[in-house]
Amino acid sequence: MIRGDFLSLNESKKKKRASKVDKVIKKLSDTLDGGRLSTQRADLLSYSHDYWPIYLHWMLEDRYPSVPDAVVWPESIEDVRDIVRWCYRGKVPIYPYGGGSGVLGGAVPEKGGIVVDLKRMRSLKLHKKDLLVEAESGLNGYYLEDYLNERGYTMGNIPQSLYPSTVGGWVGTKALGQFSTKYGGIEDMLKGIEVVVPPGKLIELKPHPRTATGPDLRKFFVGSEGTMGIITKGWFKIWPEPEKRIKLSYASNSLKDAVESIRRIMRRGAEPAVIRIYDEIETKRHFYEYDDIYGKVATVMIIEGDETLADAESKIVREEFVGKEKGEKPVDHWLETRFSIKEASEFVPMGVVFDTIEVAVGWSGAAKLYENVVGALKPIKGVLFASAHASHFYPQGICFYFTFAGTPPRKKDAEGFYQQAWEEAMKAVINSGGTVSHHHGVGRQRRRWMSEELEEGYELLKKIKQKVDKRGIMNPGDMGL
Amino acid sequence: MPDKMDWLKDEMSGVSKLTQFSTVMKFLKGKVSGPSDVVKCAMCPNMCRHACPISIVDGKETTSPAGKSRVGMMLENEVLRFNEENVFPLQMCLSCGCCENWCPFDFSVSDILRPQREESIKQGVDFKQFDEMFKALEMHGSVHGKVGKEKNYPEEGEVLYLRGCEFRENDQRVIDKTMQLFEKLDESAFVLPGEECCGIPAYNAGNTALFEELAKKMAKKINMSSAKKVVTSCPSCAYAYERLYPEFSQGLDVEVLHMVEYLEEKKRLLNLEKKGGSVTFHEPCKLVNGLGKKKSMRDVLENSGLSLKIPRRSGEKTFCCGYGGTTVSRLNEELSSSINEERLKELKGLSKNIVTACPSCKEAFQDNHGDVKVYDIAELFNRLL
Ligand SMILES: Cc1cc2nc3c(=O)[nH]c(=O)nc-3n(C[C@H](O)[C@H](O)[C@H](O)COP(=O)(O)OP(=O)(O)OC[C@H]3O[C@@H](n4cnc5c(N)ncnc54)[C@H](O)[C@@H]3O)c2cc1C
Ligand code: SF4
Ligand code: SF4
């Protein structure tokens, strides 16, 4: 097994580094007793990846090109501080790890070093009067939401990865859930944060309803993907569980009809918690049991909250939507199947290469961006299909969630085909005036578009990174930092 | 109505035929089978992680449901060798089946990884803790070795009460109370002279040969007895008799019921008047998931007349006590105990009186924490009737 290898390290560098890493591992194994540090092969291989789809192909080929030197499981802030302190001294890379459900290689230990799995830090506390929940970063997403629901509250963050992901991962990637149009993304929910930054300092930004104490440092860590520090805790906004839930669905003749309807609805101030518009292909894929929807453009919607408000919102929706109303059944079907993830398991081992690409664009560019991205993906040799649904909405614009799948043509391997599809899709997004990521983040897959998207802003980000993490130990390589 | 995969066939019809194209098409048409269960699970983003007690408490990728399958795949592909260190993660499974309730493929990781666990035994991977248990089973027919002195009960009748290794070794009082309950319900209950282990601990550890040996012996003894019905307090035993014995051609000639299933049949007799006092309950995972009795225990307890405090994780969301499945508690007692604490914290927040329906769960709760009173469901009804 190649220790700590991933494309970039040469043999001599590796050897030099190995002795330093060994020293840090020795130090940490004294602190982290009770099996909370491992250098066992099964553990190292298990933490060599997250859910970056191309990695699934490598795993099936028995390739693990990014094996860490050790994995640790801290249980307290002191443990985390010790880890950062020792790694800083030894200049050993650290990779924070939540549920490993990130899809862009954000938690891949590219340069060897130590993976820090936060899942044993999972305490939580409910502050009912302040409508806040205080949660350690390793807490499982479902655990948190289920706990709140039982007590009559919701945080409203329901990503499709609710079951495998963690609270720290949500903040780390700037995640958002299926109910985001009402409840917002994790950045809207986060009110306070606790982070350990190099060389081992604890930064506590306590929760306030609002604060005007300089630039918002809490937000600075949202979407930082472990490159600035290890998030140990967050305080999040919660809501009383909704009094009323209204389920609506429509079949429209065109994507444009449905998208324009939502634009008008949002302009009037209605905010249905869930809105999903499926293009024709995805309508066929998800609603094949509904003859009267098959081949059309399906929209499912959930409006929830205070009864008076919910009724008013549904009135606006009914007044504005262009399409045939199809009742609650398609929404129930969506609710029942929304966590059923089977395709990767069935098709990847057969050599099918797939990914999802989520991007955002203002209303004025929405139709063009959709056409351009699907139009860029479809002609690529080997692509079996390219499709999209619109999954998150704002008064200013829309998030399109594209899916492509294909089998590499002769003379091209899975990776070559995969990267070609990404190149074409990203080019189309940039040319259509969109942003290259809406919620999955950057990781290792998207880093090469950071400069193009942020321009001088990226240079500033790099400077900040150098100041915060002088020795470059925090998730090195992620986002190109 | 169109077929589930018609949309993809439609899309693919316009595409030039490339390397893997025909395999995918054949799969869509049902002409080739897809990947193995272990590979499918290994490729899943852990969509049942939240339900797996090991994963929640241990917090390790390596022992998460998909993580175990990934290790299984690495063993199969010889990326990892079969040795104690590498097989250890596979043994960190409570056989609780909690994953199955959430799995889009209806997998229970403990089932899909059986071939690897069996292979590890074949390849001579030796866990000393298992060896001791295998020896005890071979020599004395009990996981705990030689059974001590036991009270005499009738050895013939209609309802055969199989006491199980755990109560015989650690809690004979419950056996006594259960026999009293049978009497109150006008049942001619008896015990089996020379009762042995059902064999499920060997099965869980991957020693199928030993399981079969024990199953053969017990099936013979039960079938030769005067029993018209078998009742057991242990859901794992019930699972073995009901589900595994027929699979291994050792089917019993009589109906087998777990105590909760039996009490469910007697529900009318148990309909007790409302009284003061409250209890909470812990549904054993083998009862809920293994035997598929998602609500039975709660239904039975609703007839007890006591006020019932329902845990957040109940029914199909139940959480293992930490001591299920034989292997975890033997190889990693600390982890079992942490899972137990996690569950107990939840239950204690509701009531200090906990009812369960499994000898291992009962043992685990009362052993680890003296400040709660733990009742077996039969013991409780015996007290109330
Ligand atoms: C099936 C599926 C569905 C998905 N659906 C959605 C969705 O609806 N919405 C959405 O936004 N995303 C979705 N995702 C993507 C992914 O689940 C999210 O990005 C999620 O937030 C990742 O959380 P995690 O705990 O798994 O983090 P990981 O994958 O472990 O880590 C992600 C990144 O965050 C960093 N990180 C993790 N924990 C910490 C910490 N404590 N401190 C600092 N950095 C940390 C890691 O270093 C890494 O860079 C989906 C993924 C899958 C596989
Ligand atoms: S059977 Fe139980 S312990 Fe084993 S993987 Fe499934 S949920 Fe986890
Ligand atoms: S058991 Fe099912 S849900 Fe759980 S990890 Fe495996 S495939 Fe996924």
pLDDT score of B19: 59
Of B42, B70, B102, the CB nearest to A163: B102
* Structural domain includes residue B306: yes
CA distance A320 to B187: 69
The pLDDT assigned to A6 comes to: 40
Could you count the other beta carbons within 10 Å of the beta carbon of residue A480? 17
Which of B102, B112, B113 is the best mutation target for the ligand 3 pocket, counting ligand atoms within 8 Å of the beta carbon and taking the most? B102
Q: Does B49 contact chain A (CB < 8 Å)?
A: yes
- B112, B147, B170 - which closes a domain: B112
Give the Å distance between the CA of A1 and the centre of ligand 3. 27
- Half-sphere CA count of B179, side-chain side, radius 13 A: 19
CATH of the domain at B285: 3.40.50.1860
Give the per-residue pLDDT at A8: 41
- Fill in the amino acid letter for A30: D
| Chain B residues touching A39 at Cβ < 8 A | none
The pTM is what? 0.95
Beta carbons of B16 and A138 less than 8 Å apart: no
Contact A41 B85 (CB under 8 A): yes
Low-confidence residues in chain A, pLDDT < 70? 1-16
Q: What is the mean pLDDT of chain B?
A: 93
The three state secondary structure string of A288-353 is CCCCCCCCCEEEEEEEEECHHHHHHHHHHHHHHCCCEECCCHHHHHHHHHCCCCCHHHHHHHHCCE
Q: Does B193 touch chain A (CB under 8 A)?
A: no
The pLDDT of residue B34: 84
Q: Which residues from A are below 8 Å from B46, CB to CB?
A: 99-101, 163-164
Give domain status of residue B225, yes or no: no
Nearest residue, CB atoms, B59 vs list A120, A342, A344: A120
Chain B: give the shortest CA distance to residue A345, in Å.
Answer: 4
Which atom, in ligand 3's list, is nearest to the CA of B69?
6
pLDDT at residue number B112? 96
Q: How far is CA A480 from CA A33, A197, A225, A428, B160, in A?
A: 34, 19, 11, 21, 69
- CA dist B29 and B125 (Å) reads 42
SS3 B47: coil
**Chain A closest-CA separation from residue B43 CA (Å):** 5
Residue B154 included in any domain = no
8 Å CB contact of B61 and A339: no
- Cα distance between residue A98 and residue A50, in whole Å: 9
Q: Which of B36, B37, B43, B69 to mutate to test the pocket of ligand 3 (most atoms within 8 A of CB)?
A: B69
Mutate to test the pocket of ligand 2, among B55, B60, B90, B98 (most ligand atoms within 8 A of CB): B98
Question: What is the model's pLDDT at position A3?
Answer: 39
Q: Give all domains of chain A, ordered by start, each with its CATH number.
A: 9-119 (3.30.43.10), 124-240 (3.30.465.10), 244-337 (3.30.70.3450), 343-445 (3.30.300.330)
User: Is B205:B117 a contact under the CB 8 Å cutoff?
Assistant: yes
Q: Quote ipTM for the complex.
A: 0.95
Is A118 touching ligand 1 by the criterion CB < 6 Å? yes
The minimum-distance atom of ligand 2 relative to the CA of B98 is 7
Check if B102 contacts A (Cβ < 8 Å).
yes
Any chain A CB within 8 A of the CB of B104? yes
Mutate to test the interface with B, among A75, A116, A139, A345 (most CBs of B within 10 A): A345
CA distance B48 to chain A (A): 6
Q: How many CB pairs under 8 A join A and B?
A: 169
Residue B30 maps to a domain: no
Neighbours of B372 (CB within 10 A): 16
DSSP assignment of B98-154 equals TTTTT-TT---HHHHTHHHHHHHHHTT---HHHHHHHHHHHHHSSTTSS--------
B273 DSSP 8-state letter: P
Mutate to test the pocket of ligand 2, among B50, B52, B95 (most ligand atoms within 8 A of CB): B52
Domain count, chain B: 2
pLDDT of A15 reads 61
Q: How far is CA A193 from CA A176, A196, A441, B59, in A?
A: 17, 10, 19, 22
- Domain membership of residue B105 (yes or no) is yes
Whether B308 is in a domain gets the answer yes
Asked if residue B300 belongs to a domain, the reply is: yes
Successive 10-residue mean pLDDT values, chain B, 385 residues: 86 70 76 90 98 97 98 96 96 96 96 95 92 94 89 94 93 96 96 95 95 96 96 97 95 95 90 86 96 95 93 94 95 96 94 95 82 94 93
Residue A81: the pLDDT is 98
Going by alpha carbons, the residue nearest to atom 7 of ligand 3 is: B41
Q: For residue range A157-184, list pLDDT tens digits in order.
A: 999 999 999 999 999 999 999 999 999 9
pLDDT at B275: 80
Nearest ligand to the CA of A95 is: 1
* Domain final position from B81, B112, B143: B112
Alpha carbon of A127 to those of A153, A194, A207, A232, B63: distances in Å?
A: 11, 17, 11, 18, 33
Helix (DSSP H) and strand (DSSP E) numbers for chain B: 22, 8
Chain B residue with CA closest to A287: the answer is B4
Chain A residues lying within 8 Å of B73, measured CB to CB? 59
From residue B126, alpha-carbon distances to A41, A43, A140, B122, B150 in Å are 19, 20, 34, 10, 33
Q: Which domain holds residue B79?
A: 35-112
Q: Give A-chain residues touching B125 at CB under 8 angstroms.
A: none
B67 and A46 in contact by Cβ < 8 A?
Answer: yes
Q: Which of B2, B62, B73 sits opposite A43 (nearest CB)?
A: B62
Name which residue sits closest to atom 53 of ligand 1, judged by CA: A101
Q: Which of B112, B136, B158 is the last residue of a domain?
A: B112
Q: Which of A48, A119, A440 to mutate to test the interface with B (most CBs of B within 10 A)?
A: A119
CB contact under 8 A, A410 and B45: no
- Report if residue B349 sits inside a domain: yes
Which among A400, A394, A270, A249 is positioned nearest to A335, based on CA atoms? A249
